[in-house]
A and B are shown apart, each in its own frame.
Chain A
Amino acid sequence: DGGITQSPKYLFRKEGQNVTLSCEQNLNHDAMYWYRQDPGQGLRLIYYSQIVNDFQKGDIAEGYSVSREKKESFPLTVTSAQKNPTAFYLCASRGLGLAVDTQYFGPGTRLTVL
Chain B
Amino acid sequence: AQKVTQAQTEISVVEKEDVTLDCVYETRDTTYYLFWYKQPPSGELVFLIRRNSFDEQNEISGRYSWNFQKSTSSFNFTITASQVVDSAVYFCALSEEGNTGFQKLVFGTGTRLLVSP
Contacts and interface: CB of A to CB of B under 8 A. Distances in A.
B80 interface: no
Contacts of B103: 31, 94, 100-101, 103
Q: Which secondary structure dominates chain B's binding surface?
A: strand
8 contacts: A31-B101, A43-B105, A48-B102, A56-B102, A100-B95, A102-B50, A103-B103, A107-B43
Interface string B97-113: 10011111101111000
B11 interface: no
A68 interface: no
* Chain A contact patch, size range: 20 to 34
Contact of A96 (B50, B101, B107): B101
Contacts of B45: 43, 90, 92, 105
A45 interface: yes
* Chain B contact patch, size range: 20 to 34
Nearest to B10: A40
Interface of B: 4, 9, 33, 35, 37, 42-47, 50, 52, 91, 93, 95, 97, 100-105, 107-110
B44 A50 contact: no
With a 10 A CB-CB cut-off, give which of A44, A103, A107 has the most chain B CB atoms: A103
Nearest to A48: B102
B102 A43 contact: no
A104 B47 contact: yes
A17 interface: no
A42 B91 CA distance: 8
Contacts of A88: 43
A100 B43 contact: no
A110 B45 CA distance: 14
A41 B37 CA distance: 14
Contact of A100 (B33, B104, B108, B110): B33
Nearest to A45: B104
Given A42-B107, A42-B109, A50 B100 contact: yes
With a 10 A CB-CB cut-off, give which of B4, B47, B103, B110 has the most chain A CB atoms: B103
Interface string A77-114: 00000000000101010101000111111111010000
Interface string A1-44: 00000000000000000000000000000010000000011111
